[in-house]
A and B are shown apart, each in its own frame.
Chain A
């Protein structure tokens, strides 16, 4: 099943967190939308494409045991809701740490990882996952 165009189209948002800012109310949205859901038509012509920073805190999380086939290699894996500085929330995996170390409030940042592939001969899909922001050693 060739879904290459459907995924390719979202790459700016999946690779680089392309979102929008409504210059009518100042709110950020992800993924990009045609109009602001708060300002409605007042936002027409005032929508600006922005790149979100991808830094935020864990708002909630879960360790997934039963998931789709392609995640079999990573089971169990952590899925979380991340709340960012811009007020946007993301859903994504948290990686590079033990499930037991994930806590609500933990700071994380977005990185690029493989999301899935359409079989061994198909297209590979890349997108954001989240990794804990490490304390810098003094």
Chain B
């Protein structure tokens, strides 16, 4: 396999982008990434797009073709592939792009992710997000996507003593980071009281425990490592990729407080890169709910099972902590346009490793990790990045 580098990154701001259509935001991010890589269109060999549910959000399928067309690349008939794995669509698209370059099939690949969630009502948006769980045996029987995460949270609190305040600390930290990120959906710091006083969504989770619905897009440009210096002075190598699946329904998992797919995907990525969690300086993990970040901290190996809450409370996951987690603001504050999230995580890590993260820069960041989850953990994709 060839070694693969990221030579360009681009993204839109995340939020309720009323004036922007899906097509517009998809192209904007891709264009920014291509410009960042200083590469001309005729050099692009293939396109991968992560998108969960354009068919329901904007009644449009065939997203690969759409993005190829509006990026101007359809005129050269480049192969364009839409990748879907619920919340992990973006991360999985990145892995598909990586595979294309690593295998030698393509040289320059653009991988993007985009989602436009605000053209439907809140209720409809929630219904669509629910389809990442088990529709027939979880959703039809009364569960909602937040309710499933609430079941995890309550069980985690019951078994490990994780507290309501520790969950809140995840959101507080991420909003603090978000306030340092000009592209984040939420840019104001919050307090524990903000979280604990927000309306209940599904006990014990409240509004501020849940990532918002967002519009947004993000993209990266990949190329073989040995060609990277032709395009950028700050190439970042993707040194590991891991993907794993698990049961669709939460109730069929061995232990609902552990996302085994995270452990599996992480192990595969770490083994491939020849490093361990100790080598990671900065991580973007899938905090669609505060409890999800706590599980991620544990299942990625940064902290022991059951200790994720305590570690967050102790500040060990802040910008200057043992491991800087979700410096972008995470899904919670940065925003979560579902298909774009996995790419946004990659953009943040690359930016950190390039030393370009400005006010939220982690000192001497050399190795970064992205962790992208679909459903309640039925798909997980982990990538490891290293400054070249």
Which A residues form the contact surface with B (CB < 8 A)? 7, 10, 14, 30-31, 59-69, 71, 76-77, 79-81, 89-93, 99, 104, 115-116, 125, 127-129
Given contacts A10-B136, A81-B251, A91-B249, contact A61 B154 (CB under 8 A): yes
Binary CB contact string for chain B from 139 to 182 against chain A (1 if under 8 A, 0 otherwise): 01111101110111111001000000000000000000000000
Within the assembled complex, what's the spacing in Å between the Cα atoms of A62 and B261? 24
B residues 197-225 touching A (CB-CB < 8 Å): 199-205
Residue of A nearest to B251 (CB): A89
Asked whether any CB of chain A lies closer than 8 Å to the CB of B137, the reply is yes
> Is the CB–CB distance between A64 and B251 below 8 Å?
no
Q: 13 pairs across A/B with beta carbons < 8 Å?
A: A59-B256, A60-B158, A62-B150, A63-B200, A64-B142, A64-B202, A68-B144, A91-B137, A91-B138, A91-B249, A91-B250, A92-B141, A93-B142
B123 within 8 Å of A by Cβ?
yes
Q: Is the CB of A93 within 8 A of B141?
A: yes
| Residue of B with least CB distance to A83 | B251
Task: Please give, as numbers and ranges, the residues of chain B lying within 8 Å of A65 by CB-CB distance.
Answer: 199-203
Give the number of A-B contacts (CB < 8 Å).
103
With a cutoff of 8 Å between Cβ atoms, the chain A residues found around residue B144 in the complex are: 64, 66-68, 79
Alpha-carbon distance between A91 and B134 when the two chains are bound, in angstroms: 10
In the docked arrangement, what's the CA distance between A92 and B155, Å? 16
**How many whole Å from A108's CB to the nearest CB in chain B?**
14
Name the residue on A nearest B140 (C-beta): A115
Residue B252, interface by CB 8 Å: yes
Q: Does B118 contact A (CB under 8 A)?
A: no
Cβ contact within 8 Å between A31 and B136: yes
Roughly how many angstroms separate A62 CA and B141 CA in the complex, as a whole number? 14
A76-B204 Cα distance, complex, nearest whole Å: 13
Q: Which of B228-267 contact A (CB under 8 A)?
A: 249-252, 256
CA distance A89 to B137 in the complex (A): 11
Cβ B142 vs Cβ A115 within 8 A? yes
Chain A proximity mask over B106-141: 1 for CB below 8 Å, otherwise 0: 000000000000000001001100000010111011
CB-CB under 8 A for A129 and B201, given A59-B155, A62-B154, A104-B158 = no
A125 to B123, CA, bound (A): 20
The interface centre, meaning the residue of A31, A60, A67, A129 with most chain B CB atoms within 10 A of its CB, is A60
A65–B146 CA distance with the chains assembled, in angstroms: 10
Complex contacts, B143 vs chain A, CB 8 Å: 79, 91
CA–CA, A66 to B250, complex, Å?
20
Complex CA gap A14/B200 in Å reads 29
B137 touches A71 (CB 8 A): no
B residues in contact with A68, CB < 8 Å: 123, 126-127, 144
A125-B140 Cα distance, complex, nearest whole Å = 9
Contact A90:B251 (CB < 8 A) given known A62-B150, A115-B140: yes
Tell me the smallest distance from the CB of B384 to a CB of chain A, in Å.
30
